[in-house]
């Protein structure tokens, strides 16, 4: 009887320890970063061609950054995008909303649906953000870290002109 109680006790302790170990996989937010940012802003854009889509470009100007920090990606408005280095002092994240939906073959014939692509599921953002906040994901000394940038400014949208009509 004593052995059964000990086995149950150690089983419960193991179960509790395993359930708490999942908390370690959450993203830890840092309060400071060794990067000096300029005025972070975003602009929405709309393509001038039918079904070409729209999106948001997030601009992150950098005044100074140590060499051991590598900017990776951002989470913004419920989406994640990789950062592109436009020049040494500017990073851009591009979030596009494409309206073009791929053609899907629906058929009862064998192998007719073979070329269909698997639809992309909506990304889940692991952070709760306000409209003027983003989370910067970066690597410092081979460790992935996260930093919240607040006070992002919304600039006037860009409306790209439409394509010229085709000549016949």
Question: DSSP string spanning 1-50?
Answer: -HHHHHHHHHHHHHHHHHHHHGGGGSPPEES--S-EE---EEEEEE-SST
Q: How is residue 87 annotated by DSSP?
A: E
**Is the predicted pLDDT of residue 23 greater than 50, yes or no?**
no
Checking if the pLDDT of 167 tops 90, the result is: no
Over the stretch 85-142, which tens digit does the pLDDT of each residue have?
A: 989 899 999 988 765 556 677 778 777 777 777 766 566 677 788 888 999 999 998 8
67 vs 4 pLDDT, higher one: 67
- Whole-prediction pTM: 0.68
CA-atom Rg of the chain in angstroms: 24
Predicted pLDDT at 24: 42
Q: By C-alpha distance, which of 97, 91, 87, 98 is closest to 41?
A: 91
- The proportion of the chain whose per-residue pLDDT surpasses 70, expressed as a percent, equals 73
Q: What residues are paired with 59 via a beta bridge? A: 41, 92
- What domains does the chain contain, in order, with CATH numbers? 29-99+124-161 (2.60.40)
């Amino acid at each position: 009887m004593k052995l059964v109680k000990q086995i149950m006790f150690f089983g419960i302790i193991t179960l509790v320890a395993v359930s708490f170990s999942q908390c370690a996989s959450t993203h830890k937010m840092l309060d400071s970063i060794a990067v000096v940012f300029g005025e972070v802003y975003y602009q929405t854009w709309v393509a001038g061609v039918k079904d070409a889509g729209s999106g948001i470009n997030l601009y992150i100007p950098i005044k100074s950054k140590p060499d051991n920090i590598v900017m990776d990606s951002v989470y913004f408005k419920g989406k994640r995008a990789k950062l592109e280095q436009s020049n040494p002092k500017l990073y851009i994240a591009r979030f596009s909303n494409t309206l073009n939906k791929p053609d899907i073959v629906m058929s009862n014939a064998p192998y007719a649906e073979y070329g269909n692509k698997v639809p992309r599921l909506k990304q889940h953002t692991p952070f709760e953000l306000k409209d003027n906040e983003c989370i910067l994901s970066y690597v410092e000394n081979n460790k992935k870290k996260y930093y919240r940038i607040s006070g992002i400014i919304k600039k006037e949208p860009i409306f790209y002109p439409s394509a010229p009509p085709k000549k016949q």
